[in-house]
Copies of this chain bind each other. A is one copy, B any other.
Amino acid sequence: MTIADRKPVHNDRAPEDRAQIIREHFRNAIIERRLAPGTKLSESEVGGLFDVSRTVVRSALQMLALEGLVRSERNRGAFVATPSPEEARQIFAARRLVEPGMAASACDRVEPADIAALRRHLRSEASLMAERGPSARRAEIRASGEFHLLLASVAGNDILYRFLEELTARSSLVIALYGRSGASSCGHDEHEGIVVALEAGDARRAAKLMLQHIDHIEADLDLRLTEGLPLSEALHLP
Contact = CB atoms under 8 A, between A and B. Distances in A.
What DSSP secondary structure best describes chain A's contact surface? helix
Contact of A163 (B62, B63, B157, B163): B163
A39 B117 CA distance: 41
Contact of A97 (B87, B160, B167): B160
A102 interface: yes
A159 B16 CA distance: 31
A86 to B, nearest CB: 9
Given A16-B74, A98-B98, A157 B63 contact: no
Contacts of A58: 59
B59 A90 contact: no
A218 to B, nearest CB: 14
Nearest to A59: B62
A90 B159 contact: yes
B62 A94 contact: no
A126 interface: no
A104 to B, nearest CB: 9
Contact of A62 (B62, B68, B158): B62
A34 B160 CA distance: 28
B159 A91 contact: yes
Interface string A26-69: 00000000000000000000000000000100110011001010
28 contacts: A16-B74, A17-B74, A58-B59, A59-B59, A59-B62, A62-B62, A62-B63, A63-B66, A66-B66, A68-B159, A87-B158, A87-B159, A90-B157, A90-B158, A90-B159, A90-B160, A93-B105, A93-B160, A94-B159, A94-B163, A97-B97, A97-B98, A97-B101, A97-B102, A97-B105, A98-B98, A101-B101, A159-B167
Per CB-CB distance, the 10 closest pairs between chain A and chain B, nearest first, are A97-B101, A90-B157, A90-B159, A94-B159, A94-B160, A66-B66, A93-B157, A163-B163, A90-B158, A97-B98
